Amino acid sequence: MSIVNWSKFGFGHHRARDFVSSEWQRDRTRVAWPYLALRTVTLLFLAANYTANLASYPGLKRSYFLIYLTNQGLTVLLLGELTNTCLVALEFFRPTHGKLYVNYFDRTHVM
């Protein structure tokens, strides 16, 4: 008997809408456009902040940018938000007009 249930570490998820919808929207079966707008604005803010922070390092000091933990955190935040925004945008502009799939890898069951 194993202490860890390894089947829970798979890539399949039976509620894909948890990753691309917000908890405060009424219709959880679709991706709401205000949620996509919120994700896009957040991504643009983080990208502008990251660019301004990188531009504040003159010349050769730019090579020290990722040494500091704050800049590493900003990089991780930017990459995470970029991934989230791409997932929400892909689901919003899907040919099914934003309807979410029950299982992301089993596309035969559309809600």
Count how many domains the chain has. 1
Distance of CA 41 to the CA centre of its chain: 13
Structure tokens at 52: 């301004």
Residue 52 pLDDT exceeds 60: yes
Give the list of residues 6+ apart from residue 19 with CB closer than 8 angstroms, or none.
13, 87
| 13 domain-assigned | no
Residue 97's domain comprises: 30-110
Whether residue 57 lies inside any domain: the answer is yes
pLDDT at 98 over 70: no
C-alpha to C-alpha distance for 104 and 44, rounded to whole angstroms? 27
Whether 20 shows a pLDDT value over 80: the answer reads: no
Look at residue 99 and tell me if it is in a domain.
Answer: yes
d(CA 98, CA 25): 14
Question: Is 62 within 8 Å of 51 (Cβ atoms)?
Answer: no
Q: Answer whether residue 3 is part of any domain.
A: no
pTM: 0.70
pLDDT level of residue 66 (50, 70, 90 thresholds): confident
